[in-house]
Chain A
């Protein structure tokens, strides 16, 4: 596989469920990102990991818990979500310190619906 992959592509969960989103990058990058895209709103950066260390947490509620076990994998653990958390969750990766202004490459996203 090449690029950035995300699983699952679609997820429906109840407010009391616990689920996890997975992201994997095959680009040799050293930074990974989680974004949230709600209807009719610009993309919102949630978390940034650089060299497996969380370097940014953009005031995200604690019901979202990221994990980055290595530079190729990123998880977003979800628990007790609210219906307003329904959105497209996009993962991205980039090569920090490289050229091209650290261009971020995105995965296909997970479309999450919270009932």
Chain B
């Protein structure tokens, strides 16, 4: 069993829909949780960064962390065609600057105009 599990999709939704992306994990030492967006043939870019349990909102994006269930989510409101990409969850035990990130396998998302 992988440390971080993520539904690979692909996931296709119409423009304007709310998208929900999820990851589960097994390592209870994870404290820092991230979502990265990766466009085709590009490097991953950091979307959301959260510590411990709770919600964080940034524009159309909301990240949720439930450490008791070992479950994290990313919600995208009013989805746009430009949101079409692969979304990777990632997590680490520390944030001292030399932390190792453990990634999910990524969910490929397509927003249909």
Instruction: Please say whether chains A and B are actual partners in one complex.
Output: no
Contacts from B to A (Cβ < 8 Å) = none
